[in-house]
C-alpha cells in the first residue's frame, strides 16, 4: 500500500482537494435536480448506509457495489470516495491492485481461457486465437453487445483436460479451436 493511507478508509491526512465532490441537492441524494441519477446511485447509497461509520469497509463496499452494477463505474467510485471521505486516488489504488475488481463493463458470459503449461503444450494458443477471431475481440476485452468477456488465466486446475476454458462456472476441456467455437455458440 502506498504511504499516506490504507484500504480501511483512514487517509492519515486531509483529503481536501484530492477527490471529486458531488454536490448535495434539494433531494438529499447527492445530485441536484437529477432523479435519474438518484435512481442510478440508489444501490450505492444502500451499500454505503450498511457500512456508515465502519472502519475497514472499503473493500466490502467495493465488492457489493461491483455486484450491484456489474463493474465499478468511475462516477460511482467518485461518489463512494466523497461519501466515505477517502481520496479517489486511494480507491483507485485498491481497485487496480485486486484482480477481483473491474473498471469496465463485463459480459454476461466470462470466458477464461487457460494458458498454463499443460494447456499451452496441448494447443491453448490456437484455441485462444480461434476465440478472439470468432468474438472479434482480444483477450481482456468485452464484446460490444456485452455478451462475452474473454480473459486468459494461468491455470484453471483441470490440467488432465487440457486445453481447457471456463464459461462462467462451466468447465470445458479437451478443446480444439473448432470445439471451442461450438461451445460458445451454445451460449448465444
Measured CA to CA, the distance from residue 45 to residue 42 in angstroms comes to 5
Q: Map out the domains of the chain with their CATH numbers.
A: 1-103 (1.10.10.1590), 109-185 (3.40.30.10)
**62 pLDDT higher than 80:** yes
Measured CA to CA, the distance from residue 184 to residue 182 in angstroms comes to 5
pLDDT reported for residue 83: 96
Give this prediction's pTM: 0.71
> What band does 50 get if pLDDT is binned at 50, 70 and 90?
very high
Query: For 108-118, what is each residue's pLDDT tens digit?
Result: 999 999 999 99
Structural contact between residues 117 and 125, judged by C-beta atoms closer than 8 angstroms: no
- Residue predicted with more confidence, 3 or 149: 149
Amino acid at each position: 500500500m502506498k504511504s499516506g493511507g490504507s484500504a480501511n478508509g483512514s487517509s492519515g491526512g486531509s483529503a481536501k482537494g484530492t477527490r471529486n465532490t458531488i454536490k448535495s441537492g434539494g433531494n438529499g441524494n447527492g445530485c441536484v435536480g437529477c432523479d435519474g441519477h438518484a435512481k442510478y446511485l440508489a444501490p450505492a447509497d444502500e451499500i454505503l448506509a450498511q457500512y456508515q461509520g465502519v472502519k475497514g469497509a472499503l473493500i466490502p463496499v467495493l465488492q457489493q457495489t461491483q455486484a450491484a452494477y456489474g463493474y465499478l463505474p468511475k462516477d460511482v467510485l467518485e461518489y463512494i470516495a466523497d461519501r466515505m471521505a477517502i481520496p479517489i486516488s486511494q480507491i483507485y489504488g485498491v481497485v487496480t491492485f485486486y484482480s477481483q475488481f473491474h473498471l469496465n463493463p463485463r459480459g454476461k458470459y466470462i470466458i477464461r481461457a487457460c494458458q498454463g503449461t499443460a494447456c499451452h503444450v496441448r494447443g491453448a494458443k490456437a484455441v485462444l486465437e480461434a476465440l478472439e477471431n470468432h468474438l472479434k475481440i482480444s483477450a481482456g476485452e468485452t464484446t460490444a453487445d456485452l455478451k462475452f468477456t474473454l480473459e486468459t488465466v494461468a491455470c484453471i486446475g483441470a490440467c488432465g483436460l487440457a486445453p481447457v476454458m471456463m464459461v462462467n462456472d462451466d468447465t470445458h476441456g479437451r478443446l480444439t479451436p473448432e470445439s471451442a467455437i461450438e461451445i460458445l455458440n451454445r451460449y448465444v
